[in-house]
Structure 1
Amino acid sequence: MGLEEKAAIILNTTFVRPAKFFLNGFSNIPNVKYFYFFLCFIYIMTVVGNVFLLSVIYLDKTLHTPKYMIVFNLAFIDLCGSTALIPKVLDTFLFDRREIVYEACLSYMFFVWFFAGLQSWTLVTMAYDRFIAICFPLRYHSIVTKPVIAAVLLFEWVLSLAVIGFMAGLIDRLSFCASLVIQSIYCDHGPVYRLACNDTFLNYIMACVLLFIVICIPLVLIALTYVCIGIALSRIASAVERLKALKTCTSHLILVAIFFLPLLGTNLAVLTYIHPNARIVNSTLTHTIPALLNPIIYSLKTEELLTSIRRLCKNIRLRNRHFQKN
């Protein structure tokens, strides 16, 4: 038996699980720390914006509706998703702690993609809400109820948990006997499984499945709902009424564009070639910018929420005056 055959047998029978990975981050970029300070600013503003939105919805009883259950869920996911990614990135590169334990790397990967998947499907739920509101306005309150929305959101959490858990679990079957340097600033799925020295075909298939479940299927469903909404609006005689109905969708359409376009662009670029630095920037901003902008867009573009904010501010001022008098 030749040396090559012996080496092949050893490679096939020996399972190598590394103790740690090394996060390489950006390569050959001067003053890269400014990017991490920018991420720090994004995270602070994301926390402030989403906590504010969660507080307004929680405190104002008039917002305790199925529609704002979805908005509350999205704000909570945005907050958790940013917290899963940014603090660890800052700790890794601002304090030069680039080694990450194997189990921690898989957990890191799981939570980043888990909340990304949830964000994607929550946008689908928002599209469903707008579809029923515009296409079946008289039946809206009988179809879109709190129990129905709670069941839909629970299903999305379970689906995301199962799919992303399976994706991370498939990494655990790989053997890493060569490089342990991850060409990213976090434990991204693609850069990790490509380091393996045994068969990664199942991981590649899972990456494609993830692309369909997190991006393609939600986008198709959202597009179909807006086709139906467009048909319903075309049947409304009054242009004023059409514009009024369309305005209720603008916030959601902006959120969809902000979330899906960069994510879709990055994943399509990977099918050919994308520079590691460009992938890192696109992937990081895709996971962070929507969480920053979502509460701002909803606060500024939704009349109900603006009214609630004014009402809460007025109540706070009245209470302050009452305390000052006493």
Structure 2
Amino acid sequence: MTNLVSANGIQNGGSKQAALRFLANYGFLPIILVVLCIAFGLMEPRFLTFDNALNIIEQSSYLIVLGLAQMFVLLVRGFDLSLGVVVSAIGVATAMLIVAIAPGGEGSVALSLLVGFCAAIAMGVLAGVINGTLVAYLDINPFVVTLGTQGVAFGIATTISGGFPVMDLPPALTGLLGQNGSLFGPVPPPVAICLAAMLISSLVLNRTVFGRSLYIIGSSPKAAEVGGLPWRRFTMLSYVACSILVAIGAILMMARTGTGEPSTGAGLVLLSIAAAVAGGVSLRGGEGRVSHVVLGGLLVSVLSIGMNLTRIDGFLQQVVLGVVIVAAVFLDRLRQRIRI
């Protein structure tokens, strides 16, 4: 009998430790996701259909890419307020370049897309170098820097396009990279590219000196400096990595709409930060994994699509997303206490 009681005690203790370990690593988000799915399913049966599940996966793929972008700078205690407007600026400039090379889909469409995509990545690198240099080498607060570059990017996007969408993009763009594109066979291109971005980001963060250094810099900048890490260079490169992912997001969103929209990035800053922070990427730096961003992206997509299906007012949806960010910060602190 004594042995049985001891065995039960050990089993219960092990289960409790496993539960605490799970909460410490992933927080309450998986539980919240399940509860939300059940709640939306009860309010609107269409939410639990297979087609809607595919829709959630496709919609979250865009957000996960941008959430990964925010994660790279959040790891070093930064953030990027210019993300949404940079998406718009890159989308508009890339669309104009593609149309200039192959107007109306005539001429060398393949060349126009190749040049356009390369130019988009180059613009992303430039934006990252500017933001990263100002933050890392001139010690300017990330809030001030990215707020300033947000204004610059907005001015560029509206000036070069005259404030109007860039139309007449080659149909091949949407045919290849749109939600129903054929580039990756039966897998929607946004989902395939998102998976590739997740894999590469995970490898960079976990298997390279640069990636591991970001965690050290975010956890203790002084320790990184004393340890001889080139923390300024790595901080700058984190903004470059962020902006490269932003450029990929801009290409995907341009392919999704078939136009270069100056207003495409409206609201994306809030959504990208929500996806990263709600998933468990710490605002205090030094903590975050790709799986956290995936969970956060799914949460925001489930909330958005669920609220749309249940016909909740769009302005109220913004309130809900704001509450999600605040709640995520609170739960992050609670998760830290559980870990301790």
TM-score, normalised via structure 2 length:
0.33
Structure of higher CA gyration radius: 1
Structure number with greater CO (CA < 8 Å, separation at least 6) is 2
* TM-score (norm: length of structure 1): 0.34
